[in-house]
């Protein structure tokens, strides 16, 4: 390998590492809907577990760190608000008029469409039309973020578990 190629490959490795690290820093845990912003949640939540017990869909689990988190592999959110109303500390604050969260759908490269296999599962599951088949064969499904309400209904049915939802740190 020439010196130029060696330096170019090292530069690429560095940039890739930086990008990955930025994404990791911005990815926040998926706290229950209507959770207060940023670090305030961890300051207010005492890990009582009321929210997990209140969720009829059983998608809230108490993690090893004693904080609740949403697990969309268990089901989806109906936005009933029972979890938030059960919170005694104000870590979750239900407001019917307020968006429960701001999540983004991510689809991994393991998506069957990437292997030229036809799969319509997520497209058919999404009631808001936020997921569409790609225009070009072999590409990932297209997400229209403005139409996604973060219900998670598309996650569990995916036959290869390629769909996840993440909340992005908005700088808090
Ligand atoms: S809003 Fe309802 S369905 Fe969604 S996590 Fe809370 S209790 Fe569960
Ligand atoms: S009900 Fe509130 S204080 Fe209790 S675990 Fe859930 S978020 Fe934390
Ligand atoms: S989370 Fe809900 S609204 Fe968003 S893409 Fe999946 S099914 Fe559609």
Q: Where are the domains of the chain?
A: 27-101, 102-172
Element (H, E) at 70: strand 68-70
CA 146 to ligand 2 center in whole angstroms: 29
Tens-place pLDDT, residues 104-114? 999 999 999 99
Give the ligand at the shortest distance from the Cα of 76. 1
CA 102 to ligand 2 center in whole angstroms: 19
Q: Is the dihedral of CA 10, 15, 16, 17 positive or negative?
A: positive
* pLDDT mean over 9-14: 39
CA 56 to ligand 1 center in whole angstroms: 7
Domain 27-101 has what CATH class?
alpha beta
- The answer to whether the 27-101 and 102-172 domains have the same CATH topology is yes
**Do residues 92 and 122 touch, judged by C-beta distance below 8 A?**
no
Question: How far from chain centre, in Å, is Cα 127?
Answer: 17
DSSP 107: E
- 46 within ligand 2 shell (Cβ under 6 A): yes
Confidence bin at 40 (pLDDT 50/70/90): very high
**Do residues 32 and 60 touch, judged by C-beta distance below 8 A?**
yes
Q: Which residue is closest in CA terms to ligand 2's atom 4?
A: 48
C-alpha to C-alpha distance for 133 and 112, rounded to whole angstroms = 12
Confidence bin at 167 (pLDDT 50/70/90): confident
Give the ligand at the shortest distance from the Cα of 165. 3
Residue 94 has pLDDT above 80, yes or no: yes
Residue 16 has pLDDT above 50, yes or no: no
Pocket of ligand 1 (CB under 6 A): 32-33, 54-55, 57, 59-60, 77-83
CA 165 to ligand 3 center in whole angstroms: 9
Closest Cα to residue 77, out of 163, 150, 171, 132? 150
Tally the C-alpha atoms within 13 A of residue 42's C-alpha that lie toward its C-beta. 9
C-alpha to C-alpha distance for 30 and 7, rounded to whole angstroms = 39
* pLDDT mean over 23-35: 73
- 45 within ligand 2 shell (Cβ under 6 A): yes
What would the CATH number be for the domain defined by 102-172?
3.30.70.20
Q: Is the dihedral of CA 108, 114, 117, 118 positive or negative?
A: positive
Give the ligand at the shortest distance from the Cα of 55. 1
What does the mean pLDDT of the chain come to?
A: 85
Q: Dihedrals φ, ψ of 126, to 5°?
A: -75, 115
């Amino acid at each position: 390998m020439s010196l130029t190629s060696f330096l170019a490959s090292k530069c690429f490795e560095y940039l890739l590492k930086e990008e990955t690290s930025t994404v990791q820093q911005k990815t926040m845990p998926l706290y229950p809907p209507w959770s207060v912003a940023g670090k305030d949640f961890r300051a207010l939540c005492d890990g009582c577990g009321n929210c997990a017990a209140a969720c009829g869909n059983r998608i809230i689990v108490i993690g090893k760190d004693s904080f609740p988190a949403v697990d969309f592999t268990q089901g989806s959110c109906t936005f009933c608000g029972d979890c938030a109303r059960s919170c005694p500390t104000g870590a979750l604050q239900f407001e019917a008029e307020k968006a429960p969260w701001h999540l983004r759908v991510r689809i991994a490269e393991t998506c069957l469409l990437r292997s030229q296999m036809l799969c319509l599962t997520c497209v058919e599951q999404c009631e808001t039309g936020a997921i569409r088949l790609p225009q070009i064969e072999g590409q990932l499904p297209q997400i229209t973020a403005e139409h996604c309400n973060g219900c998670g209904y598309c996650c569990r049915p995916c036959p290869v578990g390629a769909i996840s939802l993440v909340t992005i740190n908005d700088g808090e």
